[in-house]
Amino acid sequence: MIAKLLGQNLMRAGIASTWVLAARLLGLAWTALIIFRLGLADYGVYAIAFAVAAIIAAPIDNIFLVRSLRIDDESYGREAATRVLVGGALLLLGVVFFVPVFVVGFALVVAGGEILFNAVKGDALRAGLPNIVTRLDALRQLSSIVLASVYLFTVNNPSLELAVGLYSAPYLVIAIAAAIKVRGRRPKMPGSFHEIRLLWFDALALALYLQADVILLGVLTTEEIAGVYSLASVVALALSSFAQMFAQTFHERLRAGLGDPDAGPRRVASLAVAILLAIAMLVVGLVLMAFFSEPGVGLLFVVMSTVVLLRSLTLILTTMLYVQGRDGHRVAAGWTAAAVKLGILALLAPLGALGAAVGAIAGELILLIWYYRVVYSWSPQVRPEKRADDAPIVPDGGGLL
């Protein structure tokens, strides 16, 4: 029944989820290898550099990512050229700083490389083919890990710098592919300054919303508690990402309908996907409660199944908001949810990871209600590009107010 309801979109999302799982397993294996061969100290340096790379790349690339889902083909091609120029500049700057200031150099290489890679994957994402996007992600990660692993296993005293240098080598191939893709296209600014500012702060709010709770929990409690909560959060986000990939398969229809929610996933289909994903998290929690020696871990997973339910619905609505160009609402909702989530965590810190889970549920509930009201206040009289330029940071009547 569900397969008939969702059809080809479910198949694409399912294939995409398989590749995402493969990439996550590869990432875990790579982490274990770094610690085994180089030690925790070097892994700490590596992790810091990657965190810096995310801070650099995410706000920049978010501008191009969001606009690529709603602009015409001509504008998309020209903005892709700008995206490649920005990514290439960061990559070259990273190469310059790689030896004298390793953390900065590596962070810039990864940031630039990922922006270039996203430009290469842009056509598939724009066409509503997340299965191709996630396959490319997994293959890039596999090639990086294979190159670095050969070095780590064949040298007696390997160094972090050479290992991650080899890990980054596929970005050079990606840079060539990106340059070929945009050859002959004249670069163009991705929207107005107002829209760029909104999309920049949108990504920054998301980074805080998704990552700051683990950091704050570690400060207020212990690293062990933060680690347990981080594990549950990673599993919750991995499961809910299926809902996002399901929604991405509707990109073309949503764009053709100028963001009309009726062109996106049916509400009953979205709810079915979210419930199934939440049940999966719930089952994991019950299994842990039954067989794991620490009952609090299983209970945390059970509580976090609510986060999976809410987050899955939120991610589906987020995809529709991207196409509608309702950026002001996403930014305002993101900052509001982050403040509430972290505030509740601080108040309930004595409860440890469960307190953080309560904060996560509150944050997701705010996003779900806010996004739902905005998405279904869509009007056919206003084009997405115009909405993006005119969207206020403080929400209007389409939000909760």
The tens digit of pLDDT for each residue in 129-167 reads: 777 888 888 899 999 999 999 999 999 899 999 999 999
Spatial CB neighbours of 321, under 8 Å, sequence gap ≥ 6: 327, 329, 330, 371, 374, 375
Q: Which of 3-17, 135-149, 223-237, 362-376 has the lowest mean pLDDT?
A: 3-17
Neighbours of 193 (CB within 10 A): 9
Spatial CB neighbours of 90, under 8 Å, sequence gap ≥ 6: 56, 57, 108, 109, 111, 112, 115
Give yes or no for a contact between 113 and 235, defined as CB atoms under 8 angstroms apart: no
Distances, alpha carbon 242 to alpha carbons 62, 192, 234, 322, 383, in Å: 20, 32, 13, 17, 28
Residue range 346-357, pLDDT digits in tens:
999 999 889 999
Spatial CB neighbours of 73, under 8 Å, sequence gap ≥ 6: none
Give yes or no for a contact between 305 and 285, defined as CB atoms under 8 angstroms apart: yes
Of residues 377 and 304, the one with the higher pLDDT is: 304
At residue 92, the pLDDT reads: 96
At residue 138, the pLDDT reads: 87
At residue 385, the pLDDT reads: 41
Give yes or no for a contact between 238 and 24, defined as CB atoms under 8 angstroms apart: yes
Give yes or no for a contact between 184 and 100, defined as CB atoms under 8 angstroms apart: no
DSSP letter, residue 157: S
b (16+ CB within 10 A) / e for 41-76: ebbebbeebbebbbebbbbbbbbbbbbbbbbeeebb
At residue 222, the pLDDT reads: 75
Is the pLDDT reported for residue 204 higher than 70?
Answer: yes
Alpha helices (H) in 170-294, listed in sequence order? 170-181, 193-220, 223-248, 251-256, 267-291
Of residues 116 and 322, the one with the higher pLDDT is: 116
